A and B are shown apart, each in its own frame.
Chain A
Amino acid sequence: MNVGLKWLRDYVDFDLNAGELARRLTESLTETEVVESPSAAVAGVVAARVVTVEPHPDAEKLTVCVVDWGDGSGPVVCGAPNVRPNMITALAPPGATIAGGRAIGEQTIRGRRSHGMLVSGAELGLAGDAAGILDLEPSTTPGTDVREVLGLDEEVIDLDVQPNRPDCLGIIGVAREVAVAVGSQLRLPPIELREEGGDVAGMAAIELENVTDCPRYIARVVTGLTVGPSPAWLRSRLASVGVRSISNIVDVTNFVMLEYGHPIHAFDYDTLADARIVVRRARAGETLVTLDGVERKLDPSHLLICDGRGPIALAGVMGGGETEVGEGTTNVLLECAWFDPVVVRRGATSLGLRTDASHRFERGVDPDAMPGVAARACALMAELGGGTVARGSLDEGPGRAPERTVTLRLGKLRSMLAPGPPRDGVVAKLEALGFDVAFEGDDGDTLAVRVPSFRSDVTLEADLIEEVARTHGYDAVPPEVPFHPLTASTDTEHAGRNDVRETMIRLGFYEILTSSFMARKAAVDFAGFGLEGEPIELANPVNKETPLLRTSIVPAVLDVVRRNVNVGERDVRVFEIGKAFGRTGDGHSERWMLAGALTGAAERPSWGGAARDVDFFDGKGVLEVLAEALDVDSPESACYDGPILEGRSSARLLIGGRSVGRFGMLASDVAEEWDLPEAVFVFELDLAELGIGNGASRGFAGLSRYPKVRRDLALVVDDGTPAGDVTTEIEGAGEALLAGVEVFDVYRGKQLPAEKKSLGLTLTYMSMERTLTDDEVDAAQKRIVRRLVDRFGASLRE
């Protein structure tokens, strides 16, 4: 909401400049800024009278004028279509500056000397008005600075008016707040309405189909008007807040709306069929051409103003073209109405037509101010258009502001604002804001506060506390740092996810955060990953390419890999901890997932020779170390031959038989389709299934004071025998002294028969009680080897 300071001073006195006022209102009402005016650079432009207009001898579209600028006169070449003798316009003489900082000099145009130029409103930074040169009031004295004439010196502030304060969408409402902020008095405009015409009751009739949609409708009629330009004071008021001047009558409706915050509308009375106003819902299929020339298709959600024939305006949103006030208009029917906020909001939203009027009606207008608003507008129209106001008004509908008294307990106020202002200060602020305050009970500590009709937002004691708090100033509330007992409880899953993140960082992965939205193709391609079940569909996606909630994070992770490879990164190790979503029966589920990818070199590039590219075991190792660091059961891998992953080198991750996720090398056809490097390892785990953050600990098993003994074993087995089966067999052999087994070598080659491989194993033995002897270790090792020979047909390699 833009407010010109000069205009504001019509209603309240204050001794502050724009910056100071903006700061004060920011502290007491809402964020307020000083508006930088596009006219700020204008200097030296003066009012001037056009004396004669002659065609330019060498240019068809130009004229050569003799212009009188008060203390001199001279020729000016002009191209405006509206230039005419005797008009008062604006001259930018040599040395002047116009909007945008453009300096004007003496010039010669097509061979004729021009003493500067005649300027349009746009050239002075005013809204609109680029078509012709300025047409100033005939009474303006040539030579007067146009800054003064047009009010360009007006300082303007912009208030961020919140949805609960429609009263501040009018300058009077802002002036009331200024008065409270600076300790001054609000001055309401005088309304000098002379009703000298006939009785309005004989001139028009109003019919409300439904008083819920339109609780109150006031109409007045003004006759014998002459539509013409507005006087300078009105144009400069409107210009100061960026509203274009149209005509005296239309300008009055805008002026009064900006003054009171209540939108009003003027119809050309003579175009109204049967002189009737009907407020009703649109019928399916009805149309209306609005003032902006667009034909609007209507349905029963739209509220209309109709005449005896059909729709003439979209109630509370925009008027229609047919009944618009124009040059030939002499009689006007003025509408001042109260429309239901929700109906206006839905209608305006469905048509994509948010206007100054709908903005205000949506937030609620003051029904009790309506008679005054209508009278003010008619008085101004009669004054500026030379018309006669008909006697009385048509006033339909029962809508009035509800009487509302809210109790304010000063004890409550003080407990919240501690210490809070004294009682007299509370009462004074509330009264200055327009509330009536009475005392309830005997203790003088309970106030009965009557809420004025323009403050429909105040319904609870808390609302009154806010009024006191903000006008009193939040600076006055002393900050307290209370002592709170520390909370013991912590979200263990949240903490568990933090552990996962820390571990991945330590493993050299960058954390990424990607979109929760997913493309349809990705959902199909990556159906094997993430959550089971159908993806959830957005009703109104912001990007039509990604209309689904992601069932898996993997597609987004691969997008990140590609993006980085495309800008020249070779080694990409990234992960995300985020939510995936899926449909489950009638409902939906969302689960925390860990997804990631690695590609490029297996080790960080160094001078010791190029490292090999990552393979399946680099990725698998990451997941194993993750499990180790998180102290969850070491996962088992199972073969996974679903889509996307290369069947030979991909697996399902199982813990205790439950599937926790998938991992493996991306299938080459997928890598190609996604424009990814050849070797990319991807993984996705369900963090809840992983069992992180369950607080379980293995417990302390004690430390042995005796040394470990190692024995290596080279075991020849069939090539198809999984190493995991061999180590499981060894661990399950029931040898009490065996502390661990590691695979240190896998060999196939010419020293071995075909279809055979050699596994190099290190077995570790340890006792908690004593130093082991070679004999007992050899015996245990022998028993294990025998077991392996029996189970796998293994032999020891010589």
Chain B
Amino acid sequence: MERLRELRDEAVAAFESAVSAAALESARVRHLGRKSEINQVSRGLKDLAEDERRAVGRAVNELKNELGALLAAAGDRIARAGASSGPGLDLTLPGRRPWVGRKHPVTRTFERLEGIFRTLGFEVALGPHVEDEFHNFEALNMPADHPARDMHDTFYIEGGKLLRTHTSPVQIRVMQSRPPPIRIIAPGRAYRNETPDASHASEFYQLEGLYVDRDVRIGELKGVLTKFLHELYGEDVGIRFRPGFFPFTEPSVEVDVECRICEGKGCSVCKGTGWVELLGAGMVDPRVFQAVGYDPDEVTGYAFGLGVDRIHMMMSGVDDIRLYHENDLRFLRQV
């Protein structure tokens, strides 16, 4: 009798787990077929004592009836599944997928930054990559032989022209082309003659901003950049304005944000300071206004600049700037 209960459980499990008609049929043969153990029990009844024969015989019949009903139910279940999906249709196969493309992470970062500054009232301005000394350096208060040029290893081409070392010459071109007020951002590629390594590229991406009007205050620069950083990193990010030096702004500031990796506790990315330098900014130097023919007594303004690839690196954890230039699809799919 004990053995009958075991046989029952085995058969039930087999019927319920069968996923096809063929599987169910083989389960039936195994558990209810002529050579099945249950059938052997039926055939052996005649050798039992009468009392026992009656009791076991009833139990075997009940079991056969029960299993027969379960078998039929399992058959229905399998038939229903087949009917709803048609013959041979395997829903677990992947769908037919169209090609899908993706923007370069630098482009996506540019779009994000441009979007934020557009809502703050800035328009996009662009300038040439091949520049001259005047727009790239002199008008920005960086005369020849100025030590500040140490930071601007320059690619020169014939005729004294050069590849812009920053996007700042766009400031000069825009101011030369029209009177204030001016409120622009200038996104684009810049070039420096540096041997590439994990954190330096000879071609990189900047976004420049310029606002010129009457009586512009440092507080507005702080306000706009704070708003920008809040949009980028969330309202709770720590922001620090500290003194800096750029030849074309006076006063000059550097803007740090709290390190996103260690949340300001200090780690290798922020060199233990808890802060990461993100923007250079300042009030436009009066000598720059003079160079473009504006009257420094009439107008004031602020300018700022930031490294776009660096911003993406900081947000994504990419630790080698060269990856942005290699265009490995495995990289482009990930970041």
Q: Given contacts A477-B222, A482-B223, are A27 and B242 in contact (CB under 8 A)?
A: yes
Taking a contact as CB atoms closer than 8 A, the residue among A540, A560, A588 that contacts B130 in the complex is A588
B47 CB within 8 Å of chain A? no
> What's the minimum C-beta distance from B274 to chain A, rounded to whole angstroms?
10
A509 CB–B CB distance under 8 Å: yes
A477 to B203, CA, bound (A): 36
> Are the C-beta atoms of A538 and B145 separated by less than 8 Å?
no
Whether a CB of chain B sits under 8 angstroms from the CB of A579 is yes
A504-B101 in contact given A516-B191, A537-B158 (Cβ < 8 Å): yes
Q: Answer whether A26 and B145 are a contact pair too, CB < 8 Å, given A478-B219, A481-B223, A579-B129.
A: no
CA distance A481 to B287 in the complex (A): 27
B265 within 8 A of A: no
For chains A and B in complex, what number of residue pairs have CB atoms within 8 angstroms?
230
Given A417-B218, A480-B222, A487-B121: A514 and B99 interface contact (C-beta under 8 Å) = no
Asked if A511 and B102 make an inter-chain contact with CB atoms under 8 angstroms apart, the answer reads yes
How many whole Å from A458's CB to the nearest CB in chain B? 10
Q: Evaluate contact between A508 and B101: CB separation under 8 angstroms.
A: yes
- Among residues of A, the one whose C-beta sits closest to the C-beta of B201 is A515
B252-279 vs A, CB cutoff 8 Å, 1 = contact: the mask equals 1110000000000000000111000100
Interface size class of A (residues with CB under 8 A): 35 or more
Least Cβ distance of B119 to chain A in Å?
Answer: 8
The stretch among B13-21, B29-37, B60-68, B89-97 that forms the contact with chain A is: B89-97
Residues on the A chain within 8 Å of B202, using CB? 542
- C-alpha gap A509/B101 in the complex (Å): 4
Nearest chain B residue, comparing its CB with the CB of A493: B126
Is B237 in contact with chain A by the CB < 8 A criterion? Answer: no
Question: B329 within 8 Å of A by Cβ?
Answer: yes
Residues of A within 8 A of B104 (CB): 510-513
B303 to chain A, nearest CB (A): 13
Q: Which of A460, A477, A508 contacts B286 (CB 8 A)?
A: A460
A498 CA to B218 CA, complexed, in Å: 33
Residues of B within 8 A of A588 (CB): 130, 157, 161
The yes or no answer to B332 lying at the interface (CB within 8 A) is yes
Bound complex: CA A461 to CA B240 (Å): 25
A511 and B122 CA atoms in complex are apart in Å by 26
User: What's the Cα separation between A504 and B103 when bound, in Å?
Assistant: 9
The answer to whether A604 and B327 have CB atoms under 8 Å apart is: no
Query: Of the 9-residue stretches B50-58, B74-82, B243-251, which lies at the interface with chain A?
Result: B243-251
Interface residues of A in 58-81 (CB under 8 A from B): none
B224 within 8 A of A: yes
Which of B93, B148, B195, B253 meets A607, CB within 8 Å?
A: B93
Chain B residues 285 to 335 lying within 8 A of chain A, measured CB to CB, are: 285-287, 300, 324-330, 332-333
Q: Is the CB of A515 within 8 A of B332?
A: no
Contact of B146 (CB < 8 Å), options: A162, A163, A538: A163
Q: Which of B96-154 contact A (CB under 8 A)?
A: 96-104, 106-107, 111, 120-126, 128-130, 145-148, 150
- How far, in angstroms, from A481 to B328 measured CA to CA in the complex? 41
Cβ-defined contact, A480 with B219, below 8 A? yes
Q: Which of A1-49 contact B (CB under 8 A)?
A: 26-31, 33-34
Does A536 lie at the interface of the complex (its beta carbon under 8 Å from any beta carbon of B)?
Answer: yes
Nearest residue (CB) in B for A466 is B251
A163 partner, pick from B120, B150, B163, B183, beta carbons under 8 A: B150
B328 x A491 contact (CB < 8 A): no
Bound complex: CA A331 to CA B295 (Å): 58
Contact indicator per residue, chain A 561-580, by CB within 8 Å of chain B (1) or not (0): 00110010100111000010
The answer to whether B147 and A590 have CB atoms under 8 Å apart is no
A498 to B107, CA, bound (A): 10
Q: Is the CB of B242 within 8 A of A510?
A: no
B227 at the interface (CB under 8 A from A): yes
- The reply to whether B103 and A540 contact each other, CB–CB distance below 8 Å, is no
Tell me which residues across on chain B come within 8 A of A549, comparing CB atoms. 130, 157, 163
Does any Cβ of B come within 8 Å of A465's Cβ? yes
Q: Is the CB of A342 closer than 8 A to any CB of chain B?
A: yes
Residues of B within 8 A of A462 (CB): 250-251, 283, 285-286
B contact residues around A581 at 8 Å (CB): 129-130
Least CB separation from A458: chain B residue: B250
Contacts of B193 in A (CB 8 A): 540, 542
Neighbour of A489 across the interface among B123, B243, B277, CB < 8 A: B123
A608 in contact (CB, < 8 A): yes
- Complex CA gap A29/B244 in Å reads 8
Residues in B whose Cβ lies below 8 Å from that of A625: none
Chain B residues with CB below 8 A from A491, complex form: 123-126
Docked-complex contact B219 and A463, CB < 8 angstroms? no
- Of A112-120, A207-215, A280-288, A467-475, the one contacting chain B is A467-475
Interface string of A717-731 (1 = CB under 8 A from B): 000000000000000
Interface positions, chain B 210-238, Cβ under 8 Å from A, are 215-220, 222-224, 226-227
Name the distance in Å between A246's Cβ and chain B's nearest Cβ.
Answer: 28
Query: Do B222 and A474 touch across chains, with their CB atoms under 8 A apart?
Result: yes
Q: Which residues of B lie under 8 Å from residue A567 when comparing CB positions?
A: 328, 330
Residue B28 is within 8 A (CB to CB) of chain A in the complex: no
- Taken together as a complex, chains A and B put the C-alpha atoms of A31 and B242 apart, in Å, by 8
A770 at the interface (CB under 8 A from B): no
Judge if A294 is at the interface, Cβ distance under 8 Å. Answer: no
State whether the Cβ of A520 lies closer than 8 Å to any Cβ in chain B.
no
Tell me, yes or no, whether A490 is within 8 Å of chain B by CB: yes
User: Known: A536-B158, A537-B158, A539-B158. Is A163-B148 also a contact (CB below 8 A)?
Assistant: yes
Contact status of A362 and B147, CB under 8 A, knowing A470-B243, A505-B103, A563-B328: yes
Distance of A572 Cα from B93 Cα, bound (Å)? 24
A463 lies within 8 A of B250 (CB): yes
In the complex the two chains form, is B220's CB within 8 Å of A482's CB?
Answer: yes
A540 to B202 CA separation, bound complex (whole angstroms): 12
Residue on A nearest B211 in the bound complex, by CB: A484
Residues on the B chain within 8 Å of A147, using CB: none
A470–B93 alpha-carbon span in the complex (Å): 65
- A166: nearest residue on chain B (CB-CB)? B147
Distance of A541 Cα from B202 Cα, bound (Å): 10
Q: Do A416 and B103 touch across chains, with their CB atoms under 8 A apart?
A: no
Partner of A574, one of B96, B191, B327: B327
CB-CB contacts below 8 Å: B155-187 with A: 155-159, 161, 163, 183
Does residue A400 face the partner (Cβ distance < 8 Å to B)?
no
Min CB distance, A751 to chain B, in Å? 33
Docked-complex contact B271 and A363, CB < 8 angstroms: no
Q: Which of A497-548 contact B (CB under 8 A)?
A: 498, 501, 504-517, 536-542
| B194 within 8 Å of A (CB atoms) | yes
- Say which residue of A362, A505, A539, A608 sits within 8 Å of B157 (CB atoms): A539
From B225, which residue of chain A is reached at the shortest CB distance? A479
Q: Who on chain B is nearest to A340 by CB?
A: B145
B155–A506 touching, CB < 8 Å: no
- Considering only CB atoms, which chain B residue lies closest to A503 in the complex? B101
Compute how far the CA of A26 lies from the CA of B241 in the bound complex, rounded to whole angstroms: 10
Q: Check A341–B145 contact: CB distance below 8 A.
A: yes
What is the CA–CA distance of A346 and B146 in the complex, to the nearest angstrom?
11
Chain B residues closer than 8 Å to A131, beta-carbon distance: none
Which 10 A-B pairs rank lowest in CB-CB distance, beginning with the nearest? A508-B99, A466-B251, A162-B245, A484-B121, A474-B241, A479-B222, A163-B147, A512-B327, A479-B223, A470-B243
14 further interface pairs, Cβ-Cβ under 8 Å (given A163-B146, A163-B245, A494-B124): A31-B254, A163-B147, A165-B245, A416-B216, A416-B217, A477-B222, A480-B223, A481-B227, A489-B123, A513-B325, A516-B129, A517-B203, A541-B155, A606-B96
23 A–B pairs (Cβ distance < 8 Å), ordered by A: A26-B242, A31-B254, A33-B271, A162-B245, A164-B148, A418-B219, A462-B250, A462-B285, A465-B250, A485-B121, A491-B125, A498-B111, A501-B107, A508-B98, A510-B327, A510-B332, A512-B327, A515-B203, A538-B163, A564-B328, A579-B189, A603-B99, A608-B96
